[in-house]
Amino acid sequence: MEYRYQVGDEIKVVRIERNGDDYQITVGEHACTVQVDRLSPGELRFTRDGQPRLAYLASDGPRRYVAFDATVYTFSQAESASHRRRAAGTAENALAATMHGQVVKILVSEGDRVTHGQPLMLLEAMKMEIRITAPRDGRVARILCSEGQIVERGQTLIELAG
């Protein structure tokens, strides 16, 4: 059985072979022997090369969360190359909502010239006001939301050009 995980820019390949009560596991070139001692919802106790390890785990779609001691590691089941290209394709010129919230006020119009740091719109979430400002000088190419609209985190709000 082979599992591929995207860790930063790298793809890590984990191979698991069952061998009686043991698992022979390789991570990249590195091989080890593992026993699964206890598995319960969100928790795994295992012994790797004689060393007992306790991990807390969770998943959300392809996302994997693993905690050892005080550190949480996050990575993903590796995606196909085409999916990655699409994700990277969103333009630098697009300003996205940093969190789920409501557009309170749009301070510019399409075609306006804006300068670095100029407030473009106000979002509100959890009674906090969040200002979306121009990351550079440019022109407002498109406004993709309207006042009062609820927007998702990551949703493009404004596109800049020039």
Partner 1 sequence: MIHKVLIANRGEVAVRIIRACRELGLSTVQVYSEADAHSIPVYMADQAVLIGPPPPAESYLRGESIVEAALATGCDAVHPGFGFLSENADFAAAVQAAGLTFIGPDPAAIRTMGLKTEALALVRAAGVPTLPGYAGGGTDDDYRHAASQIGYPLLVKATAGGGGKGMRIVRAENDLPEAIQAAQREAEKAFGDSRVFLEKYIENARHIEFQVFADRHGNTVHLFERECSIQRRHQKIIEETPSPYLDAELRARMGTAAVSAAQAVNYVNAGTIEFIVDMRDGRFYFLEMNTRLQVEHPVTELVTGIDLVKLQIRVANGEALPFRQPDLTQRGHAVECRVYAEDPSNGFLPATGRILRIVEPHGPGIRVDTGVGTGDEITIHYDPMIAKLIVYGQDRADALRRMDAALGQYVILGLTNNLRFLRDVIRHPDFQRGTATTALVEREFAAWQPPADPVPDDALIAAALFDSLTTQTLAPGSTLMPATGDSHDPWARADAFRLGERR
Q: Which residues here bind partner 1, judged by CB under 8 A?
A: 1, 3, 5, 7, 12, 14, 16, 21, 23, 25, 27, 30, 32, 34-42, 44, 46, 48, 53, 55-61, 63-73, 75, 77, 98-101, 104, 124-130, 153
Closest listed residue to residue 26, CA positions, set 53, 51, 4, 52: 4
State which residue, 46 or 94, has the beta carbon closest to partner 1: 46
Residue 3: CB minimum distance to partner 1, A: 4
Query: What stretch of H or E contains 85?
Result: helix 81-88
Residue 162: CB minimum distance to partner 1, A: 26
Residue 135: CB minimum distance to partner 1, A: 14
Give CA–CA dist 44/41, Å, rounded.
Answer: 8
Q: How far is CA 23 from CA 4, 11, 108, 124, 161, in A?
A: 17, 22, 60, 51, 55
- The residues near 113 (Cβ < 8 Å, ≥ 6 apart) are 137, 138, 139, 162
Residue 74: CB minimum distance to partner 1, A: 9
State which residue, 1 or 85, has the beta carbon closest to partner 1: 1
State which residue, 19 or 85, has the beta carbon closest to partner 1: 19
Q: Is the Cβ–Cβ distance between 53 and 39 less than 8 Å?
A: no
Virtual torsion, Cα 38, 41, 43, 48, nearest 10 deg: 40
State which residue, 119 or 162, has the beta carbon closest to partner 1: 119
Residue 141: CB minimum distance to partner 1, A: 25
State which residue, 94 or 141, has the beta carbon closest to partner 1: 94
